[in-house]
Structure 1
Amino acid sequence: MDMWKSFNAGRALVVAAAVVAGAVAVPGTSLAAAASATGTVKTAGAALTVRSGPGTGYTGWRTIANGASVTLLCQTSGESVTGTYGTTKLWDLLSNGGMVSDAYIYTGSDGQVVNSCAYVGAEPSSKTNPRAAEGAINWEFQHYGSSAYENLCLAFAAQAYGWGGSGWNTAEIGGDWESSHGYLNTTGIPPRGALVWYHNSTGDGHVAISLGEGKVIGTSVAGHVGVAGYLDHGMYRGWSVAYLPAAW
């Protein structure tokens, strides 16, 4: 597989009042203000864990220091968390591809401030994946930094979705199948959970899994499993639902 490129107190009062009233912030209940926004990590002093998905049960793969500035790309509903700014089910996808609870992020609002995260549609019921999108993403984050899957990008994606293997010899064959059967989308940013397909110089192709908002996780990011922009690989083909009809 080809290598990727180098890759305020006022809000607290508002949230506290909402918690007393039993309210929680839920994505989609109001019009988002922007495609991205800046926030500040506010904890009691400890670093904030960045997770693979919207809940404390998802893999924590790095931390962010209290007081650090972060960029929010989208927000989604997940596990209810009580933190600095009260209780909320709102989780923020950050520019590094991970998620944190909005209960610890100062944005100037107790509600949604950026677009809701877009999720890929379901695969055909004739071949349902053993593992759903968030579980697949979490599985890949559990291997973050590993070089064991180099040149095995298609197997890595298939195993992330719960299969033993994809049933295709190369990602180029897989991408060709998705294209010839009408599953390959060549416009729009790949939604969270989508398979993202590429050509490469060796003719074997490449595939990764979308984290949403222009981010993917996969093999061959500086020789390891890592996060990159979906266009950082120079031969982008498009994205598809996570449909692996030959998987076993």
Structure 2
Amino acid sequence: MWKSFNRRLIAVASAAAIIAAVALPTGAYAAAASATGTVNTAGAPLTVRSGPGTTYDSWRTVADGATVTLLCQTNGESVTGTYGTTKLWDLLSNGGMVSDAYIYTGSDGQVVNSCTYVGDEPSSKTNPRAANGAINWAFQHYGSSAYENLCLAFVAQSYGWGGSGWNTAEIGGDWETSNGYLHTTGIPPRGALVWYHNSAGSGHVAISLGEGKVIGTSVAGAVGVAGYLDHGMYRGWSVAYLPAAW
């Protein structure tokens, strides 16, 4: 991996050099587990979205000049910004995504590991929504308390179903376990269902955003983002397979 110019360093040096600079293509590669960057929009707040594109839900902003932590990067919609045109999107430590076109990292290309997505569910029960679409629906309900004690319904509806077909998340987690879908090692990849026991015996489930973050119910009494181990009594993660969903 190499390139003849570093556009971001050039941008700091002079605006004229940006016009003259030519960056050779770079590909995705394994890099650091995390990195810091600085938002540069020339003044306006930068919109944080639920997925890698401008059509995904905008649920908060970060100020121009703010320092952000990048957990992983993924390809998405092409955006032209302060540092040129790129398809790279950065997953931030708060669980949202921003275009890398507005983030100064000291590099013109990828600086952290690629975001890992969960595998497909069996074709016999394909979800109406894919992972990014499900996460987008979940973010549209960010802060809502309407789904408290309805974590399984929330996850099923995120993936486009009317309901899961299971009475509790404990039953759902048991099914995933007994049918060989539950993984108990590794950080849950983006889009995975993340399963928990709880003291009530009803269990809990959320959706992984990747890199140790989940979105689901019961985060301070509402839909929110948390670390995947914050709920306690962690069971493991599975592909987004809901065989009884309707």
- Matched residue count: 237
Cα pair distance change 1:30/1:247, threshold 3 Å: closer
Partner of 1:48: 46
Kept after mapping to 1: 8 A contact 2:8/2:108: no
1:184 aligns with 2:182: yes
Distance 1:13 1:157, change over 3 A: same
The equivalent position to 2:154 in structure 1, one of 148, 156, 172, is: 156
Which residue is equivalent to 1:109? 107
Structure 2 residues without counterparts, runs of 5 or longer:
1-6
Instruction: Return the offset for 1:10.
Output: 1.4
* 1:11–1:108 Cα contact (<8 Å) kept: no
Equivalence for 1:218: 216
Aligned match for 1:84, one of 73, 82, 85: 82
Q: Secondary structure at the match of 1:157?
A: helix
Letter aligned with residue 224 of structure 1: A
Aligned mate of 1:69, from 67, 70, 76: 67
Structure 1 residues not aligned, in runs of 5+: 1-7
Cα pair distance change 1:237/1:76, threshold 3 Å: same
TM-score for the superposition, normalised by structure 2: 0.92
Q: Which has the higher contact order (CA 8 A, sep 6+)?
A: 1
Cα 1:19–1:144, aligned 2, differ >3 Å: closer, same or farther? farther
Distance (Å, rounded) in 2 between the aligned partners of 1:194 and 1:188: 12
Work out whether residues 18 and 24 of structure 1, in 8 Å CA contact, stay in contact via their aligned partners in 2.
no
Structure 2 CA distance, aligned partners of 1:88 and 1:18?
A: 18
Q: Offset of 1:44 from its aligned partner? A: 1.6
CA distance in structure 1 between the partners assigned to 2:65 and 2:29 by the alignment: 28
Alignment CA distance shift 1:24-1:160 (3 Å):
farther
Q: Secondary structure at the match of 1:175?
A: helix
Change (3 A) 1:11 1:238: farther
Residues 161 and 24 of structure 1: CA distance in aligned 2, closer, same or farther (over 3 Å): farther
Q: How does 1:1-248 map to 2 (within 5 A)?
A: 10-12=9-11, 16=18, 29-248=27-246
Following the alignment from structure 1 to structure 2, what is the Cα–Cα distance between the partners of residues 123 and 79?
A: 25
CA distance, structure 1, for counterparts of residue 77 and residue 141 of structure 2: 23
Percent identity (aligned): 84
Distance across 2 between alignment mates of 1:18 and 1:112: 22
Gap change, CA 1:165 and 1:18, over 3 Å in 2: farther
Secondary structure of 2:237's partner? strand
